[in-house]
């Protein structure tokens, strides 16, 4: 079966969410869910202080200390191993792996799975995918989006598609088919701004969106029909600085040509360079790179708080925290730029490194995602020492994640 990618989607008819769902339900089409699908444990109370207090006794690093770096230059906890599955400019499964690999997600694919990865290259960004067999063998690689600009963050939808977000001043969101069978489509009703992460709340039928500006906003999109992102209402969070109660106001014209989406609502709450986000159990979690915080928005009580703080959580993520995914037995795995680490934040509030990339002069870790069975963790590292600031390597880590 031939695969299609979008090149300049203005020339392509819109494929609505209803058609996406029909396509996914059709006989012979692989079905599954992106990410791990495992909630991150006990969420914070909406009345919690700005940072967690000291953790309870015994709530330490569940994976233990890191061993010496392996042959790939990755220091891992004992019992875990790594391998390289993609390197910028080199072939993987018949595809030349893209430069500047960024956010990603996993999707079930029959007896195997697929890992999709954004490319943060100007004008040539897009999304690539690797298809794996049940034993982890790479079956093939292919493109699912082309001809877009600085595709940084994104999110997996409940109806098994991938949202790839452009991180430009008038960035768009594209809905992509991870299996490569259908053309990707722009979703302009979700706003034109420096898009970062996207997280889905099926209980309230909304999509949460972060913005990668030093004074970025936090949005939610209410589609007219759940599963169809073509039309809907875009709202922005309104509130004072720091943790506390918040409200929402409608953005009058999300796709305006001359009035920036982020400046249309007075009093919009600002965050210091938001990264990826994740929804689970009534809370939307997202990171801010400027101050290294992990935020939690209580969707029922409309209250926002901070999960970590340097004064109360030694070893907490530094400036550069960029993306969080839930652990299989609780807590959060947070990708960090500054220390080239993936950090585990436990439900009790302690933070400790799960892995560290060494010896490459790297600048950023991106795209963490668990395989559907939870046995493998994928992520990418931007390795400045490889001769190009956009060079990157995509890794797979296996081991006892349910420890």
HSE, side-chain direction, 13 A CA sphere, residue 94: 7
Dihedral sign, CA of 269, 272, 277, 281? Answer: negative
> Which helix (H) or strand (E) segment is 91 a member of?
strand 91-92
Alpha-carbon distance of 301 to 258, in angstroms, equals 35
Nearest CA among 107, 262, 280, 281 for reference residue 196: 262
Burial class (CB in 10 A: 0-12, 13-18, 19+), 374: middle
The answer to whether residues 53 and 312 touch, using CB atoms and an 8 Å cutoff, is yes
- Strand 101-109 and strand 95-96: pairing? unpaired
pLDDT at position 252 is: 98
pLDDT at position 139 is: 98
Q: How far is CA 263 from CA 5, 129, 137, 193, 402, in A?
A: 33, 35, 48, 10, 44
Nearest CA among 382, 383, 380 for reference residue 84: 380
pLDDT at position 313 is: 39
Nearest CA among 401, 403, 396, 386 for reference residue 100: 386
> Which helix (H) or strand (E) segment is 392 a member of?
strand 392-398
Q: Which residues contact 84 (CB under 8 A, 6 or more apart)?
A: 72, 393, 394, 395, 396
The answer to whether residues 4 and 183 touch, using CB atoms and an 8 Å cutoff, is yes
Domain range list for the chain? 56-398
Which DSSP symbol is given to 55?
Answer: P
pLDDT at position 277 is: 86
pLDDT at position 360 is: 66
Q: What is the CATH T-level fold of the domain 56-398, as seen in this structure?
A: Neuraminidase (2.120.10)
The answer to whether residues 216 and 225 touch, using CB atoms and an 8 Å cutoff, is no
pLDDT at position 242 is: 92
Alpha-carbon distance of 398 to 76, in angstroms, equals 10
Alpha-carbon distance of 392 to 66, in angstroms, equals 23
pTM equals: 0.82
pLDDT at position 166 is: 97
Place of tokens 């053309």: 183
Q: pLDDT below 70 — which residues of the chain?
A: 1-60, 309-323, 337-338, 360-362, 384-389
Phi/psi at 103 (5° precision): -60, 155
Give the gyration radius of the chain's Cα atoms. Answer: 20
Alpha-carbon distance of 102 to 116, in angstroms, equals 10
Place of tokens 């049940």: 134
């Amino acid at each position: 079966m031939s695969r299609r990618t979008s090149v300049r989607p203005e020339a392509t008819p819109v494929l609505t969410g209803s058609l996406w769902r029909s396509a996914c339900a059709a006989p012979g089409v692989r079905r599954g869910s992106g990410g791990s699908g495992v909630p991150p444990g006990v969420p914070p109370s909406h009345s919690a202080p700005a940072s967690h207090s000291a953790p309870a006794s015994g709530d330490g690093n569940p994976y233990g200390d890191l061993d010496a770096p392996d042959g790939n230059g990755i220091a891992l906890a004992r019992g875990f191993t790594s391998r390289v599955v993609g390197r910028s400019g080199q072939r993987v499964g018949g595809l030349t792996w893209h430069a500047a690999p960024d956010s990603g997600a996993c999707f079930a694919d029959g007896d195997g799975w697929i890992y999709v990865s954004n490319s943060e290259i100007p004008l040539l960004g897009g999304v690539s995918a690797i298809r794996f067999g049940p034993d982890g063998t790479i079956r093939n690689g292919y493109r699912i989006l082309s001809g877009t600009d600085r595709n940084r963050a994104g999110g997996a939808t409940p109806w098994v598609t991938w949202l790839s977000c452009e991180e430009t001043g008038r960035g768009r969101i594209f809905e992509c088919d991870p299996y490569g069978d259908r053309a990707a489509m722009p979703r302009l009703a979700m706003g034109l701004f420096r898009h970062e992460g996207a997280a889905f709340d099926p209980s309230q039928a909304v999509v949460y969106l972060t913005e990668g500006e030093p004074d970025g906003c936090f949005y939610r999109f209410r589609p007219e029909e759940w599963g169809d992102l073509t039309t809907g209402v875009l709202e922005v969070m309104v509130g004072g600085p720091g943790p506390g109660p918040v409200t929402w106001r409608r953005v009058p014209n999300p796709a305006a040509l001359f009035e920036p989406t982020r400046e249309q609502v007075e009093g919009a709450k600002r965050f210091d360079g938001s990264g990826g986000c994740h929804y689970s159990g009534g809370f939307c979690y997202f990171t801010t790179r400027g101050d290294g915080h992990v935020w939690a928005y209580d969707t029922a009580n409309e209250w926002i708080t901070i999960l970590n703080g340097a004064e109360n959580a030694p070893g907490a993520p530094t400036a550069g925290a960029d993306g969080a995914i839930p652990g299989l037995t609780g807590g959060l795995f947070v990708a960090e730029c500054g220390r080239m680490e993936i950090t585990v934040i436990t439900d009790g509030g302690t933070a400790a490194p799960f892995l560290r990339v060494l010896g490459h002069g790297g600048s950023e870790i991106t795209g963490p995602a668990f395989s559907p069975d939870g046995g493998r963790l994928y992520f990418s590292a931007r390795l400045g020492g490889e001769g190009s600031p956009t060079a990157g390597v995509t890794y797979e880590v296996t081991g006892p994640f349910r420890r």
